[in-house]
Chains A and B, each alone.
Chain A
Amino acid sequence: DIQMTQSPSSLSASLGERVSLTCRASQDIGSSLNWLQQEPDGTIKRLIYATSSLDSGVPKRFSGSRSGSDYSLTISSLESEDFVDYYCLQYASSPTFGAGTKLELK
């Protein structure tokens, strides 16, 4: 199975700060990566699909990119509602998730 190593596991940041989360794939997954956001009540929302495509209705402060086997989610200027959990998901083969990043308000 393809392993997705997500970092950091937690991140403390301030309002307005720019942050990046990363997932490293253990094998080639091409562009087959999504970023998901999970609220404290369990609600899950897809933010980014196919590495860098923004889902409709998702604020433009979210963006996705790739450098080799490293995939990144960047939030350009943190807002209060962004302090939740984030997961990457590869679907190139049997789908696997990263372990998640908990974004906390400093």
Chain B
Amino acid sequence: QVQLKESGPGLVAPSQSLSITCTVSGFSLTGYGVNWVRQPPGKGLEWLGMIWGDGSTDYNSALKSRLSISKDNSKSQVFLKMNSLQTDDTARYYCATAYYKNWGQGTLVTVSA
């Protein structure tokens, strides 16, 4: 069955960069896209961006300058990189399949000195 699992650093210092990996199984990244979504504690969901099966990407326009999404099809992994983190980037970061049918459990990232 389709599964997604995020892995991240847990804690990031302000102004530093964040890298999160989404490892998928049950489908091929060459044929299907993956989204990134985040949720600050106690708040709602925010779409960050996605990478399509052909490797093309779309980004939230408000965050585009800070985001990069890439993937390694052979390893079934999708990568989210965000730079210049601030405290309001503290959130649970999720990956989800292209039409949001399947979600990972999310990984909590705290931005703090």
> How far is the CB of A21 from the nearest CB of chain B, in Å?
14
Q: A1-44: which have CB < 8 Å to B? A: 1, 34, 36, 42-44
**Chain A residues whose C-beta falls within 8 Å of the C-beta of B61 in the assembled complex:** 1, 94
Residues of A within 8 A of B39 (CB): 42
User: How many Å lie between the Cα of A55 and that of B60 in the bound state?
Assistant: 27
Taken together as a complex, chains A and B put the C-alpha atoms of A97 and B94 apart, in Å, by 14
Residue of A nearest to B61 (CB): A94
B28 to chain A, nearest CB (A): 20
Chain B residue nearest to A99 in the complex (CB): B44
Known pairs A34-B100, A94-B60; list 15 more (Cβ under 8 Å).
A34-B99, A43-B103, A44-B103, A45-B103, A46-B101, A46-B103, A49-B99, A55-B101, A89-B100, A91-B100, A94-B61, A95-B35, A97-B46, A99-B44, A100-B45
